[in-house]
Structure 1
């Protein structure tokens, strides 16, 4: 098995890392999925670390049957992209989701079948600057992937390793991909969400016992759900514990979204945990509060609370 065609769905912070690395391969065809006005913008190139890259631009129909489809969307865009994913996926297409969270594979599998899915995650500190994206290739942990069951060194895992070799991309295969995904999920829930509510840099976890306590409670709820699902996150602790150092002022993706007036991926984080908690009979009070407060902050960004002096009066009990 040799991968000759790669399609990237989503050319933002995550997709840019893939485009940057695979653009070095001259023996494959690399394309970004886009249509209409977005396709015209993409044809002008992707600016990554100050350099403009020109992957091919394909419609879903043009990408049909590609060897590898990498899904790098924001969570809110996934439902609207399912038809495109279904169109692109051919009999021998492997689909890897590099989205945050732990349920995008399940959502995609309902459309195309679980046999096409190779579970994966990505760790890259990419951010937007001007019209492009920037990241540090040396400190980026990269793409982690693997089969859910043996044989773990499958033909398609070997094909992915061959594809990523000598590209500059950092990667590794693992026998514990589900545990690795939940380990990253725990990090996102515990670090992204309390900071987003407070509106402060990550130094808040170091400097405030209250912020640290909120972070710990969110993690405990997640760990209880994982345990009920038979997922032992400890199996991934050693391999996932290392990461890139960040300054106390760093603002993770959820807070970045709120800062920019965008809707967040809270449905993928606490929203998913609330749903799973209800299914398993596990209370998730910290995640429920966090879900609703971040939803309210989104509404505030949308202008829902821009009251005028002549607005209808409301009565508040004392």
Structure 2
């Protein structure tokens, strides 16, 4: 299949490389530095199971989605509407569009701009990009995607590319569970610039994480979301299974780039305000990360 990855950062580059290794014709759409590196030497994928260069196409133009049967949208949440507008005239009418993004509303935003259904996906992967054209995989990699006429077919394609994929009608609840985990870790990792394994050992950190978690659970319940009862265990498991990973927010701050904090802790603050639920710890973390973004710029 011809596959386009719109917004090929760490997540998009990883999944694009996996699909290219499985024999699909993949085009990464990203920044000029990525395009130059990939066109010159391919994409360097570094993981526990494979390290080597993967040959695929790269382009900086949104119209490079033309002709793709599957479009993976991996842009930052703040760029969702803009990216959708850029590709709207070029996406094949029969293409499946899959949102591989943080946050809970991106598939809806994409669908509104594109004027077509977009399949939401929950992404569980730890990756980073040390240099353009080089993606490191630190762990996991599974996807949970929403139901559609094409979801089972796309899930089979992804599984054949060694990407564990499940189709679930409860994808919204799963997106919320991922949001809670991100809210607990991302800002604290960004502020400290520590990986998860070190972060949780900091004095007083677990108590703050618990406070963030409690606010998120209260807001989720008010929004009608059904979260698993053992979600806190999943939160703590992250520090063990992804001990060396720094959050995407931490990586953004280190590079002086805008983060997705408004779509993580900021979502909890916004929805909490609407529901009359106090979220002081999430609000504090949101404010601190925004200040650090300003300082980095």
TM-score w.r.t. structure 2 length?
Answer: 0.84
Local SS of the residue matching 2:27: strand
- Which digits, 9 at most, give the CA deviation of each residue in 1:17-55, with x for residues without a partner? 2122111333x4322235877655543332222533232
Question: Which residue of the partner structure matches residue 245 of structure 1?
Answer: 241
Matched-pair contact (CA < 8 Å) for 2:77–2:101: yes
| Length-normalised TM-score, structure 1 | 0.79
Aligned position for 1:104: 106
Equivalent position SS for 1:101: coil
Number of equivalenced pairs: 287
- CA deviations on 1:68-88 (whole Å, 9 max, x unpaired) are 210112234334312223223
61 and 20 in structure 1: CA distance in 2 versus 1, 3 angstrom threshold? closer
Report how far residue 103 of structure 1 moved.
Answer: 1.9
Q: CA distance change for structure 1 residues 129 and 227 in 2, over 3 Å: closer, same or farther?
A: same
User: Residues 118 and 145 of structure 1 are in contact (CA less than 8 Å); yes or no, is this contact kept in structure 2?
Assistant: yes
User: Which has a greater percent of strand?
Assistant: 2
Q: Distance in 2 between matches of 1:266 and 1:289?
A: 12
In the alignment, which of 252, 259, 280 is matched to residue 254 of structure 2? 259
Going from structure 1 to structure 2, the CA distance change for 1:32 and 1:200 (only over 3 Å counts) comes to: closer
1:294 is aligned to 289
Secondary structure of the residue that 1:6 maps to in structure 2?
Answer: strand
| Equivalence for 2:190 | 196
User: How many angstroms apart in 2 are the aligned matches of 1:176 and 1:235?
Assistant: 15
**1:156 partnered with 2:156:** no
Q: Which residue of 1 aligns with 2:137?
A: 135
Is the 2:194–2:246 contact (alpha carbons within 8 Å) kept by the matching residues of 1?
Answer: yes
Q: Give a deviation string over 1:142-174, Cα, whole Å, max 9, x none.
A: 222122xxxxxx531121122113322222222
Would the alpha carbon gap of residues 37 and 80 (structure 1) be closer, same or farther in structure 2, given more than 3 Å must change?
farther
1:35–1:258 Cα change, 3 Å:
closer
Match of 2:3 in 1: 6
Match of 1:224 in 2: 218
Structure (1 or 2) with the larger CA radius of gyration:
1
Runs of 4+ displaced beyond 4 Å: 34-42, 235-244
The separation in 2 between residues aligned to 1:274 and 1:102, in whole angstroms, is 14
TM-superposition CA deviations, 1:253-284 (whole Å, max 9, x none): 22232233333221111222222223333222
- Specify the alignment match of 1:178 in structure 2: 172
Structure 2 equivalent of residue 33 of structure 1? 29
Task: Give unmatched runs, 5+ long, in structure 2.
Answer: none
Structure 1 residues 35 and 64, CA gap change in structure 2 (3 angstroms) = farther
Whichever structure has more helix as a proportion of its residues is 2
RMSD: 2.8
Q: Which moved more, 1:170-179 or 1:236-245?
A: 236-245
